[in-house]
A and B are shown apart, each in its own frame.
Chain A
Amino acid sequence: MSEKREQNTSKTNNNKVIKKLVVLVFAMFGFGFALVPLYDIFCDITGLNGKTNDVSATYENDGIDISRTVTVQFITRMAKAIPWEFEPVMNEMTVHPGEVKYVQFYAKNKSQQDIVGQAVPSVSPGIAAGYFQKIECFCFTQQPLKANEEVEMGLQFYVDIDLPSEITTLTLSYTLYDITTKVDS
């Protein structure tokens, strides 16, 4: 009898603990997904992964610092052997912080199929990513190219005047991905 009663009270105790633990399980499952936006915010603040702005920046005329020059290098890379030619028209340019510049990239679809490409920019050193502002960039949208089509795509940018002084060279790298199947589905 008394044993039974004990088991009954322990049953309600059990349910209380189980409820808390199950809530914890779901909370941690949610936390796993919450890490995704948190990671982005964290990287935004720290410039950790070299991601640049993915919507057009508005040019703030804070003047041009002609006492400094920064070398901006352009490199391109094809992910998973996409059959395109994709390269910058010039490999590097020298800019003053605050100065708006324009550069073109050449792309050609060498295959007999229509392919949708997506260029993903990244800036190195990562800390400089937040100071590299794109006003107009082909990377803001997808790049659909018909078979054998070729285009010149433009990038308008400026380097923020607050760029830390120890940084004298920036590398802007574009990785080109084939996203045809993703767009189709």
Chain B
Amino acid sequence: MTINTINESLDDAATDDHHDHKMTGIKRWLYTTNHKDIGTLYLWFAFIMLLTGGALAMVIRAELFQPGLQIVEPDFFNQLTTVHGLIMVFGAIMPAFTGFANWMLPMMIGAPDMALPRMNNWSFWILPFAFAILLSSFFMESGAPNFGWTFYAPLSTTYSNGSTAFFVFAVHIMGISSIMGAINIVVTIMNLRAPGMTYMKMPLFVWTFFITAYLLIAVMPVLGGVVTMLLTDTYFGTSFFDAAGGGDPVMFQHIFWFFGHPEVYIMILPAFGIVSTIIPAFARKKLFGYSSMVYATASIALLSFIVWAHHMFTTGMPLFGELFFMYCTMLIAVPTGVKVFNWVATMWRGSMTFETPMLFSIAFVILFTIGGFSGLMLALTPVDFQYHDTYFVVAHFHYVLVTGSLFSIYAGAYFWLPKWTGHMYSETLARWHFWCSLISVNLLFFPMHFLGLAGMPRRIPDYALQFADFNKWVSIGGFAFGLSQLMFLAVVIKCIKGGKKAPAKPWDGAEGLEWTVESPAPYHTFSTPPKVD
């Protein structure tokens, strides 16, 4: 110890860097700056939010079980769809990925922790407040936000039910949390890689999170800007989106989707990273086309900035605009196709085994591709006029977000559970979870394609009689899918409590630095960086 260390003394006190003890009880979690603890917090938070958003979806499906109004009033139905969307996007999928980033990034690049551990603590702990604010609006007289998760003006300004301020502040906090998380990821990856780990030697998982973090830094501030404009329009008399004062409501959609489209890739690029880690492990082959995967990820990220108006084909654009956004959107299918082919090529002639992480990954590849194809259909301007705001859109984005993002999260969770807990999970129960989810999720979302093509509009609590049969099946699928997720909870709790002791590397095809440390991963790993060659 020299004088140099004095500078670090504060950090040492906060991070317990060189003492392998941790605080006990609630304080351990409140004050923690350990990337593994924070990762765990993010993952549990995301799962709780998944169940919360799922519960709202159950009410939605119960209402839609039969035509007519049974359970909820139309206005409350709007609140349900709005908050369901917000919770799932900002509360479940995004924090789950941040959880993965926290747990795995430092271990994968041989770093002792995230680069900014105290900010890390803060970016997690403001999240529960954001969702407390959002959810508390349910208990207010005027109710929760009811203008759709896309909060189009003037629905969220002139016609707001009074929840706009709560919504705006909640989104601000979520945005700040995501931005801080993203800055942390970028700094960690740029500065804390083990000696010898050049950029093109990083696992693809690390690459996808690196690019996603840049996307977050680029577009979350735009979201912050647009909700601020909303706030001042609603409460301070400005007219950004108010035609009466010289504003333009269509401009809202442009700014929102300038954030919104990169946002959908923020929710899928990390999924690509997880699946690209798991498929090689269980195919016992190297990932096919590593560098093409990196470039594909980067091109998807760049293209995501110039396709936003494909969400707005029906707002009245000149032909040139429609063609431009249509072609750019279809262009994204090229790098995405490269990825799908690479995953298939990785599996080609591999010695595959089908443990649960692999099952979820294969389901991801197939079902995400279905979601991608329906996305391509929606990209075509002329047919989008028919599909716009129908259940076809709902089917599309649930295929990419549930069977895409969520399935990849499950795949990743099963893959790394042994590393996290030190125990093998129950393969039987996990398979039950997989097969029940797979069957019910398709029963839930596949018929929605046909409902949409037949003209059933989204966000409406009632529907024409001819849609009744399909909706009944969809609802049954929904309830089954919701219940199946409790099996995951059971697997995780069982796995934490005990089970077969996991070796350092429980999957024999797995590669990466995280498998060189014992299971469960010690509280502090890679205090001295490993050498990568």
Query: Which residues on A are within 8 Å of B, measured CB to CB?
Result: 1, 3-5, 7-8, 10, 13-14, 17-18, 21-22, 24-33, 35-36, 39-40, 43, 46, 48-49, 51, 54, 79-80, 118, 120, 126-127, 175, 177-179, 182, 185
CB A177 to nearest CB in B, in angstroms, measures 3
Determine if A48 and B318 form an interchain contact, defined as CB atoms under 8 angstroms apart. yes
User: Which residue of B has the minimal Cβ distance to A178?
Assistant: B244
| B515 at the A interface (CB under 8 A) | no
| B366 at the A interface (CB under 8 A) | no
**Docked CA distance A27–B217 (Å):** 10
User: Which residue of B has the minimal Cβ distance to A176?
Assistant: B244
Return the contact of B191 from the options A17, A30, A35, A40 (Cβ within 8 A): A17
CB B221 to nearest CB in A, in angstroms, measures 4
**Docked CA distance A27–B179 (Å):** 13
| B39 at the A interface (CB under 8 A) | no
Determine if B250 and A14 form an interchain contact, defined as CB atoms under 8 angstroms apart. no
List 9 tightest A-B contacts by C-beta distance, closest first: A32-B225, A177-B244, A29-B221, A28-B221, A32-B222, A13-B191, A21-B183, A39-B251, A17-B187
**Docked CA distance A39–B254 (Å):** 9
Using Cβ atoms and an 8 Å threshold, which residues of chain A touch B179?
25
Known: A5-B4, A29-B225. A120 touches B191 (CB 8 A): no
The contact size tier of chain B is 35 or more
B246-294 with Cβ < 8 A to chain A: 246, 248, 250-251, 254-255, 258-259
Interface pairs (12), CB distance under 8 Å: A10-B191, A17-B186, A28-B221, A31-B225, A32-B221, A32-B259, A35-B222, A39-B251, A80-B158, A118-B245, A175-B243, A177-B243
Using Cβ atoms and an 8 Å threshold, which residues of chain A touch B251?
35-36, 39
Determine if A28 and B244 form an interchain contact, defined as CB atoms under 8 angstroms apart. no
Determine if A49 and B244 form an interchain contact, defined as CB atoms under 8 angstroms apart. no
CB A127 to nearest CB in B, in angstroms, measures 7
Known: A5-B4, A10-B191, A80-B158. A25 touches B186 (CB 8 A): no
Using Cβ atoms and an 8 Å threshold, which residues of chain A touch B237?
182, 185
User: Which residue of A has the minimal Cβ distance to B224?
Assistant: A29
Determine if B187 and A182 form an interchain contact, defined as CB atoms under 8 angstroms apart. no
**Docked CA distance A43–B246 (Å):** 13
CB B456 to nearest CB in A, in angstroms, measures 29
Determine if A179 and B225 form an interchain contact, defined as CB atoms under 8 angstroms apart. no
**Docked CA distance A179–B242 (Å):** 11
Return the contact of A33 from the options B5, B187, B223, B225 (Cβ within 8 A): B225
Determine if B243 and A21 form an interchain contact, defined as CB atoms under 8 angstroms apart. no
Tell me the interface secondary structure of chain A in the complex. Answer: helix
**Docked CA distance A40–B243 (Å):** 13
Using Cβ atoms and an 8 Å threshold, which residues of chain A touch B255?
32, 35-36
Known: A29-B224, A39-B251. A79 touches B244 (CB 8 A): yes
User: Which residue of B has the minimal Cβ distance to A1?
Assistant: B2
Chain B, 503-533, contact with A by CB distance < 8 Å: what is the 0/1 string?
A: 0000000000000000000000001100000
CB B234 to nearest CB in A, in angstroms, measures 12
**Docked CA distance A46–B321 (Å):** 11
Determine if A25 and B217 form an interchain contact, defined as CB atoms under 8 angstroms apart. yes
Known: A1-B2, A13-B191. A24 touches B218 (CB 8 A): yes
**Docked CA distance A28–B255 (Å):** 12
CB B487 to nearest CB in A, in angstroms, measures 40
Known: A32-B222, A51-B248, A179-B245. 5 other contacts (CB 8 A): A1-B4, A8-B7, A17-B186, A18-B187, A28-B219
**Docked CA distance A182–B192 (Å):** 54
Using Cβ atoms and an 8 Å threshold, which residues of chain B touch A22?
183
Determine if B2 and A49 form an interchain contact, defined as CB atoms under 8 angstroms apart. no
| B115 at the A interface (CB under 8 A) | yes
User: Which residue of A has the minimal Cβ distance to B111?
Assistant: A10
**Docked CA distance A173–B334 (Å):** 43
Determine if B192 and A10 form an interchain contact, defined as CB atoms under 8 angstroms apart. yes
Determine if B5 and A4 form an interchain contact, defined as CB atoms under 8 angstroms apart. yes
CB B16 to nearest CB in A, in angstroms, measures 15
| B8 at the A interface (CB under 8 A) | yes
CB A107 to nearest CB in B, in angstroms, measures 15
Determine if B183 and A8 form an interchain contact, defined as CB atoms under 8 angstroms apart. no
Return the contact of B183 from the options A18, A26, A30, A179 (Cβ within 8 A): A18
